[in-house]
Chains A and B, each alone.
Chain A
């Protein structure tokens, strides 16, 4: 399992977010690009590798096959990882804002 301090890569973060709705591979790529306004573009190779390792960790699951395209969905464990990541990101954001925006003497 993910320990509290493990940062997710941007790719994994967006893949997990996309998979809150069941989706196939190409859908994940498009969703990721849309969510990040085109900034994060997953390569097919990266996505393929990431899906395999997320399945392995049990953070996502494959939905019963109904043909050639495979649909994936986030699991409860995956959701938990995302929530922990949000806490971590919030901490980073808060510290950054506090220090950079503190009025200088």
Chain B
């Protein structure tokens, strides 16, 4: 029987767990499965040589101009690094293991830079979500005022507003607060490290 060449794996990592995600990808690569594409909670691997590549996650703001992004991608290419996947602001980098590691072992600066990118990404995401909620609520208010004659529509709008409000609050507390806390702990630890050893 022919050996399977492509594998699709579903995994969920929160944005604060990028180190675990990286570790997972590198473990797969050591076993001979090389990442070729990334989607939402989805990783596609192709069989290759064991330990041929190493992987790293990086972030590039999607709001960055194409020129900035292109110049960074060109720079990575010049450094022997390939962008194998992109999802949201994350980019998945691949490098030949024989060309040495991505980072110095204890490069606090590089780590801080990465946490900061993730931190600002999560802030941006929350701001965008809040903006969407605000628009929804505004539309509902408008609808309620315009359709005040119709009791059922007005009631629906009131209920929907309450739902959106409470829903977004719960989503913030359950999803966002733990992520921010985790990132903050990472930042604090790195700042302590810098006091001793840059």
Chain A residues within CB distance 8 Å of chain B: 7, 9-11, 24-26, 29, 33, 40-49, 68-69
Is B113 within 8 A of A44, CB to CB?
no
CA distance A49 to B72 in the complex (A): 10
Contact residues in B for A69 (Cβ distance below 8 Å): 78
Q: In angstroms, how far is the closest chain B Cβ from the Cβ of A100?
A: 20
Contact residues in A for B100 (Cβ distance below 8 Å): 33, 41
Chain B residues within CB distance 8 Å of chain A: 58, 72, 74-76, 78-81, 93, 100-104, 107, 109-110, 113-114, 198
Is A68 within 8 A of B74, CB to CB?
yes
CA distance A24 to B79 in the complex (A): 10
CA distance A46 to B112 in the complex (A): 10
Is A46 within 8 A of B109, CB to CB?
yes
Is B103 within 8 A of A41, CB to CB?
yes
Is B103 within 8 A of A46, CB to CB?
yes
Is B74 within 8 A of A45, CB to CB?
no
- Chain B, Cβ-Cβ closest to A29: B79
Is B104 within 8 A of A40, CB to CB?
yes
Is A41 within 8 A of B101, CB to CB?
yes
CA distance A67 to B107 in the complex (A): 31
Q: Which of A40, A41, A44 contacts B75 (CB 8 A)?
A: A44
Is A25 within 8 A of B109, CB to CB?
no
Q: In angstroms, how far is the closest chain A Cβ from the Cβ of B43?
A: 22
Is B79 within 8 A of A44, CB to CB?
yes
CA distance A24 to B58 in the complex (A): 22
